[in-house]
Amino acid sequence: MEDEWKRIKLEELYEQHSDAIFRYILLTIGDAQQAEDLTQEVYIRAFKGMEQFEGRSTYKTWMYTIARNVIHDFYRKKRPIAFLPSFFINRPEILQLTPDEIVEVGEEAVQLYQALNRLKPAYRQVLLLRHLKEFSIKETAEILGWSEAKVKSTTHRAMAALRSEMMTEGGCQHEPVR
Amino acid sequence: MSLFDDQKEQHKADVNWSALNEIPRDEQRKKQSWQLINQKMTTGNRRWHLWKKILHPGVIGPAVVFCFLVLFFPGIFQDGLFNEKTSEKMEPSYGSDGNGQAPAVQPDNQDEPESGGGLEETPDQAVVDAESLDIKLQQLMELYIVASEDKELLPEFFEEFIAFPWEAAYDRYSEEAAEMLTWIAELDEMTRKEYMAKIVEDLYENHSFRSNEASFLLYHLYTLQPVEFLNDLAMLVDEQDQAALFQSVVEYAEQLGTLDFVKELLIEVRNQNDITRDSSLRAEWNNGMAFTTYQMYNDTVLEETLLEKSGKILTTLEKGNYDLLAEEVHEEKGLTISFTADFEEWHQFSKEEVSNFVTDSSRYYWGEAEGQSVVVSPAQLIRNYFLNTDFTISAFNSQTSERGERLNTIYENYIDGLYVEYFAADAASEKNDWRKLRLVFEENNGAWQLVAIVQDTKQ
């Protein structure tokens, strides 16, 4: 009976959040097939851990916390070649979309993603959660395991860095004559 | 949370954010995913039910009793055999130094030969004793030689390499460690980086990268693979740690007298990579150059000379005496004036043009300030923008930092330059604004001449 309740609850969570979680993972790692596999992993872990869910956060925040851990583990397992593997999540590859998907999303949006992609992982993570997924500072702090102050300051820096990336890409470069 | 002040630009950005949030997901795959999740949930449940059966008291009870008897009354099952085997195992000495000698440092009980050997000693025994360290190092070297033939021993080697008390021995064994680190660097990429990562990770987790041990290891990692080192440093979440790790390298290089080499490697990194394509690497590189150069000239006569010279130049600027200023300007490169720390907007003037600043009414576009375009003559710019505050602090070659503001890129433009920075906190501002003015010098025929004046402000 308990298992049945867990299954029903998970199905509900799958319907409600799996698309958003899939996109969050896709925008972090860049590969749709991997993102789909990792989304599965998120839900399997959620099923296993559902008894430990204490209701201190919302189910949504909890699911994203799991997603963040799944992504982290994915990089640790897949790419032990990273020089300092446990400090950061590696950069994603270029967003792999089909031409049809690019048309649907729009080239400018893809450019925004590329600018996002050039930021350091902490910046990217905080912007994906705060700006794209519209989590509050408190929720973002919960998901990333940071203090609220760190979320605030990192968001501020990340926005400035993203602005700078977008302007660099769009503007022209000047070099003093030497 | 707006990216742009311009409403049109912001709207465009909002639309693009929304588009990213709507990247299509293959419905077929989504369904398949759910089926797979369902399958795994069922399998997981079956396993759980199996465990439940195994853990049933009727099954687990006798098993616990059996284990208890084996542990506490082994004679019942082995008739003393267990004890004999244990004592046999203790006979051979693994920790010999190659001549069959026991380690020089013995525990209290001198009658019994040391069991296990150096590599299996407890951490408490990792004492700063020269002889025991020699033995430990020899064992590590032996393990290194064996591991270089047999890759299966790599994990064991790295474990011991990390556990070795380099802190106490870095000056004694730098050659051996360098040899081992070089070997690590020559391993295939996967293995090499995995283990290098473990070394640095260990230092990071213990927060000890200011120690000599850490400096020693980090220095070698940097000199072996400067590009990878900087790249990965740039990815650290904590910017303070980034700075501390590189400072550790530079300070160690100072002890060795190889600061020039550290700088050469940085220049090589720049020559071989387009650092401007990666904002984090760019910041790391500029910070690295500033700090390395600072360390090269800190507490030298040159530092004093430049601080004095720039003090006089600042006074000259305040008095608007451009004839005198022109005398300090670089003969060949002239004077570049930049309104921003990253040289986004700048103009270059010859010595002669600088001396004519008082009468030169030509207006130039310098950039934006408080949403307004700044289009003024050089003299107006210096008087009204650069010097409209009291600079209270001066610093020699202060390290740059990436804090969401514009990056100080002096070293991208003046690779052999040195600079003096003047800092003023804007007391009138409610946003804790600040302003910095950097005077950049380069050597020309034995004299240090002014090549640039660069402003930096809080954005």
Do residues B221 and B287 both lie within one domain?
yes
Do residues B270 and B392 both lie within one domain?
no
A-contacting residues of B 337-366, CB under 8 Å? Answer: 338, 343-346, 348
Contact: B23, A97; criterion CB under 8 Å: yes
pLDDT of A170 strictly over 80: no
Select from A11, A86, A163 the Cβ nearest to the Cβ of B3: A163
Do residues B182 and B153 both lie within one domain?
yes
CA distance readout (Å), A11 to A7, B297, B330, B455 = 6, 65, 72, 58
Contact: B237, A177; criterion CB under 8 Å: no
Region of B448 on the Ramachandran plot (φ > 0 left; ψ -120 to 50 alpha; else beta): beta
Residue B263: its pLDDT value, please?
A: 95
| Listed residue (B377, B323, B326, B370) closest to B347, CA to CA | B377
Q: Choose one of B297, B329, B351: the last residue of a domain.
A: B297
Contact: A159, B3; criterion CB under 8 Å: yes
Q: Which residues contact B5 (CB under 8 A, 6 or more apart)?
A: B371
Distance from the A176 Cα atom to the nearest Cα atom in chain B, whole angstroms: 7
Please give the angle made by the CA atoms of B309, B313 and B319, to the nearest 5 degrees.
150
| Listed residue (B310, B276, B308, B270) closest to B292, CA to CA | B270
Do residues B284 and B334 both lie within one domain?
no
Farthest CA pair distance, chain A = 77
DSSP letter at A129 equals I
Do residues B137 and B255 both lie within one domain?
yes
Please give the angle made by the CA atoms of B56, B61 and B64, to the nearest 5 degrees.
125
The residues that bridge with B444 in the sheet, in sequence order, are B447
How many distinct structural domains can be found in chain B? 2
Select from A108, A132, A177 the Cβ nearest to the Cβ of B21: A132
Q: Choose one of B272, B297, B322: the last residue of a domain.
A: B297
| A128 vs B138: CA distance, rounded Å | 51
Q: Read off the pLDDT of residues B211-265 as tens digits, 9 standing for 90 and up.
A: 666 777 788 778 877 887 887 777 665 666 777 788 888 988 988 889 999 999 9
Q: What topology is assigned to A100-171 in CATH?
A: Arc Repressor Mutant, subunit A (1.10.10)
* B122: in domain: no
Q: Read off the pLDDT of residues A11-28 as tens digits, 9 standing for 90 and up.
A: 999 999 999 999 999 888
| Listed residue (A116, A104, A45) closest to B26, CA to CA | A104
Do residues B218 and B335 both lie within one domain?
no
Chains A–B, number of C-beta pairs less than 8 Å apart: 172
Contact: B37, A47; criterion CB under 8 Å: yes
* B369: in domain: yes
Residue B66: its pLDDT value, please?
A: 67
Residues of chain B with pLDDT under 50: 79-128, 402, 404
CB B200 within 8 A of CB A83: yes
Instruction: Return the domain boundaries, chain A.
Output: 1-89, 100-171
Fold equal for A1-89 and A100-171: no
Q: Where does A1-89 sit in CATH, by number? A: 1.10.1740.10
Partners of residue B189 in chain A, C-beta under 8 Å: 81
* B75: in domain: no
CB B148 within 8 A of CB B161: no
Do residues B354 and B281 both lie within one domain?
no
Partners of residue A86 in chain B, C-beta under 8 Å: 201
B34 touches chain A (CB under 8 A): yes
Do residues B183 and B265 both lie within one domain?
yes
Farthest CA pair distance, chain B = 108
Residue B454: its pLDDT value, please?
A: 95
Do residues B352 and B437 both lie within one domain?
yes
* B108: in domain: no
A97-131 burial: b if 16+ Cβ within 10 Å, else e: beeeeeeebbeebbebbebbbbbbbbbbbbbbbbb
3-state secondary structure chain B: CCCCCCHHHHHHHHHHHHHHCCCCCCHHHHHHHHHHHHHHHHHHHHHHHHHHHHCCHHHHHHHHHHHHHHHHCHHHHHCCHHHHHHHHHCCCCCCCCCCCCCCCCCCCCCCCCCCCCHHHCCHHHCCCCHHHHHHHHHHHHHHHHHHHHCHHHHHHHHHHHHHCCHHHHCCCCHHHHHHHHHHHHHCCHHHHHHHHHHHHHHHHHCCCCCCHHHHHHHHHHHHHCHHHHHHHHHCCCCHHHHHHHHHHHHHHHHHHCCHHHHHHHHHHHHHHCCHHHCHHHHHHHHHHHHHHHHHHHCCCHHHHHHHHHHHHHHHHHHHCCHHHHHHHEECCCEEEEECCCCCCCEEEECHHHHHCCCCCCCCEEEEEECCEEEEECHHHHHHHHHCCCCCCEEEECCCCCCCCCCCCCHHHHCCCCEEEEEEEECCCCCCCCEEEEEEEEEEECCEEEEEEEEEEECC
Residue A85: its pLDDT value, please?
A: 35
Region A105-117 average pLDDT:
82
Q: Which residue of B has its CA nearest to A102?
A: B23
Do residues B159 and B291 both lie within one domain?
yes
Do residues B308 and B183 both lie within one domain?
no
Q: Choose one of B263, B297, B331: the last residue of a domain.
A: B297
pLDDT band at A87 (very low <50, low <70, confident <90, very high): very low
**For the residues of A29-56, what is the DSSP string, one character each?**
H--HHHHHHHHHHHHHHHHHHGGG--SS
* B46: in domain: no
Domain of residue B259 covers 128-297
Do residues B260 and B353 both lie within one domain?
no
| Listed residue (B257, B176, B253) closest to B219, CA to CA | B253
CB B227 within 8 A of CB B269: yes
pLDDT of A176 strictly over 50: no
| Listed residue (A145, A127, A122) closest to B402, CA to CA | A122
